[in-house]
Structure 1
Amino acid sequence: MDKIIRTGVCSYGMSGQIFHVPFIHVHPGFEFTAVVERSKHLAQEKYPNVKVYTSVEDMLQDKSLDLIVINTPNYTHFDYVKAALEAGKNVIVEKPFTVTTAEGEALIALAKSKGLFMSVFQNRRYDSDFKITRQVVQSGQLGDILEAEIHYDRFKEELSYKKHKEVGGPGTGSLYDLGAHIIDQALLLFGMPQQLWADIRIIRKDSIVDDYFELVLFYEHLRVRLKCSYLVREPMPSYQIHGRIGSFIKTKADIQETMLQRGLMPGSLDWGVEGQHEWGLLHTEKDGKIIKQYLPSPKGNYLEYYDEVYNALVKGADNPVPAAESLRIITVIEAAFKSSKEGKVVQL
């Protein structure tokens, strides 16, 4: 590699252990150099050469670091990204980018003024299920898209062991958490809507944060529904796309998270390959002939994100997820809360 990107990770919880460090570790262009762990030294058990700091502030003083991964609770993103940029570090920040659009705009301006790289880790762009859905939509095989529905459902009455997700306050709840993924996917597929309507609720017995939402995004000739519930025992298809000449139906099936939780490293045999029983159904027509077939998905691979980050930092390639793209998600989230509170359609 032309250059090694020495990387510090701000937390070694699930996000660090599962979604970031394995990819940083196996990528030849990155070095897992430093991590913040306030009491435990779990990272050193698996990665003996990593430096351990007890605070983000201390880690930011490490002059050897080129890149900081901000993977701390949502409400801390603004302060930690700002501190990292002011310390002269390039930044990857977990979704959601920030809690408010004002915070996001301030960080974008700061990064620009410092000439620093800032990208948002929207990893679900690199899931196998979304990859095939995006391919089908872009292929034109469905004709003009008229209706789409994207689900991200779970079945879990009990509260999360991650206390910061259940205490309420800025940036908590299902819309900021899972909604940030499927809003991003809708915007990638169809662009920004003109209007939206939202219903955001609390449905678990002991919850104080939203754990159910339905958003309807209004486009000129298209309606997109985004839905999430924590109490769906039998899930609906995750992607239902209907066009003038055809439909595509797809389950949520990316297996990378399961493989990572089993301790497998990216690049292992059959990494990110869906089982045939999860293939998406394409039902359309071509040249007057009805086509009904199951389509294999491309491999899911979050390592592609780090490939693109490396090429952006070292070779001047495009940022894979510019902060301005993820700022649109926060704009939609803020409008959704306004719509749900006021019970009306909101202009964007």
Structure 2
Amino acid sequence: MSGKIFHAPFLALHPGFEITGSWERSKKLIQQDYPEVKSYPSLESVLEDEEVELVIVNTPIDSHFEYTKKVLLAGKHAVVEKAFTVSLAEAQELHALAQEKGLKLSVFQNRRWDSDFKTVKRIVDQGVLGELVEVTFSYEQHTPELSPKAHLETPTPGSGLLRDRGSHITDQALSLFGMPNAVFADLRIVRPGSIVNDYFELLLFYDQLRVRLKGGFVAREAVPAYVLQGLRGSFLKSRGDLQEDKLVAGEKPNTTDWCTEPEEKRGVLHTEVDGVVKRELVETEKGSYLDYFEGVYDSIVNNIAEPVTSADGVNTMTIIDAALRSDAEQRVIRL
């Protein structure tokens, strides 16, 4: 699903990339959409192909470290799906290896290029809320039934909602506010029949700011996914990016009108500017995962930083590692 929906359409659209093929471990499907490419029989066959310069690792989380390490040792650049790795130690080892080899290693945190989060970032960058005091990012929906994807519901080192969706909003928070001073976490199992964590709440402690990150499957009535409270004002924004829905429906991305949120999803800004209090709906930014791939291309061709660096991945895994310890020990973990 990841390759078909989130990666191949943008690689095919971007003029700087040529899809060479895919290692398909079970179903052989890529040639139905891209008949000119290869279906590799093994990872080794991918790594032995001298044409291949960049490998995207989009397997289940608990195999990310093994496969990405092989990719880097073969001298090829890598993009790794979220969560980066199972553990902080694995993330640090891959980061160090990429640095040693002079290779580009990026984590696919595509949600930085969602329309809703891009709008939140614009509001933060503009400083119209004054000093931020409290921020909540949530990734919640109403799907109490267990997922048919076995790897999501089986207790493995890489399973659980914290690593799955939690890695997205953790990365978003760190990209805006940097690393916190401390972390407190509450992880739970709430769905009937579930045996992996399917609810999380993290509290990130900064000097004056508190950032709350929440995720779960039992929110029948959605609350704003982004709530920012500053000394001068508030900003509330629902989750409204349409890219995944369009891609799942089979639509192909383009470079002109991809992708605009409906107007009813606009965020509410209520703040004071130059002594005047105003409350208004604000225009939403356009989301585009193509911008992530443009950043990967630019990093390889022009030897600049990746759009999401392996150091960013290490930071996210630092928070997840601290959250797991915090929940287990029921205490605040200082970083």
Question: What range is the shorter-chain TM-score in?
Answer: over 0.9
Deviations 1:81-133 (A, max 9, x none): 00001111110111111111111111112112211111111100000000010
Shift of 1:271: 1.6
Q: In the aligned structure 2, how far is the partner of 1:205 from the partner of 1:268? A: 43
Report the equivalent of 1:283: 270
Residue 237, structure 1, aligned to residue 224, structure 2 = yes
Residue 144, structure 1, aligned to residue 124, structure 2 = no
CA contact (8 A) 2:21 2:37 kept: yes
Shift of 1:155: 1.3
Residue 256, structure 1, aligned to residue 251, structure 2 = no
What's the secondary structure of 2:174's corresponding residue? helix
Residue 19, structure 1, aligned to residue 14, structure 2 = no
- Pick one of 56, 59, 68 that aligns with 2:55: 68
Report the equivalent of 1:295: 282
Q: In the aligned structure 1, how far is the partner of 2:303 from the partner of 2:76? A: 17
CA contact (8 A) 2:95 2:314 kept: no
Shift of 1:57: 2.4
Q: In the aligned structure 2, how far is the partner of 1:189 from the partner of 1:122? A: 14
What's the secondary structure of 2:48's corresponding residue? coil
Report the equivalent of 2:181: 194
Report the equivalent of 1:327: 314
Deviations 1:176-222 (A, max 9, x none): 00000001111111111111111000011111110001111111111
What's the secondary structure of 2:208's corresponding residue? coil
Q: TM-score, normalised by structure 1?
A: 0.94
Q: In the aligned structure 1, how far is the partner of 2:97 from the partner of 2:179? A: 25
Amino acid at match of 2:303: G
- Pick one of 104, 111, 120 that aligns with 1:124: 111
Shift of 1:269: 6.0
Report the equivalent of 2:121: 134
Aligned runs of 1:196-211 on 2, under 5 Å? Answer: 196-211=183-198
Report the equivalent of 1:32: 19
- Pick one of 150, 153, 158 that aligns with 1:171: 158
Report the equivalent of 2:201: 214
Report the equivalent of 1:8: none
Shift of 1:332: 0.5
- Pick one of 29, 33, 40 that aligns with 1:42: 29
Q: In the aligned structure 1, how far is the partner of 2:26 from the partner of 2:161? A: 29
Moved more, 103-112 or 15-24: 103-112
Residue 340, structure 1, aligned to residue 312, structure 2 = no
Report the equivalent of 2:77: 90
What's the secondary structure of 2:325's corresponding residue? helix
Q: In the aligned structure 2, how far is the partner of 1:202 from the partner of 1:95? A: 21
Query: Unpaired segments of 5 or more residues in structure 2?
Result: none
CA contact (8 A) 1:39 1:54 kept: no
Shift of 1:317: 2.9
Aligned runs of 1:150-165 on 2, under 5 Å? Answer: 150-165=137-152
Q: TM-score, normalised by structure 2?
A: 0.98
Shift of 1:41: 2.3
Q: In the aligned structure 1, how far is the partner of 2:111 from the partner of 2:51? A: 30
Identity %: 49
Report the equivalent of 1:55: 42
CA contact (8 A) 1:273 1:300 kept: yes
Count of equivalent residues: 335
Q: In the aligned structure 2, how far is the partner of 1:157 from the partner of 1:142? A: 36
Q: In the aligned structure 2, how far is the partner of 1:180 from the partner of 1:307? A: 22
Shift of 1:315: 1.8
After the TM superposition, which segments of 4 or more aligned residues of structure 1 sit over 2 Å from their partners? Answer: 38-41
Q: In the aligned structure 1, how far is the partner of 2:26 from the partner of 2:113? A: 33
CA contact (8 A) 1:152 1:182 kept: yes
After superposition, the CA RMSD in angstroms is: 1.1
Shift of 1:55: 2.1
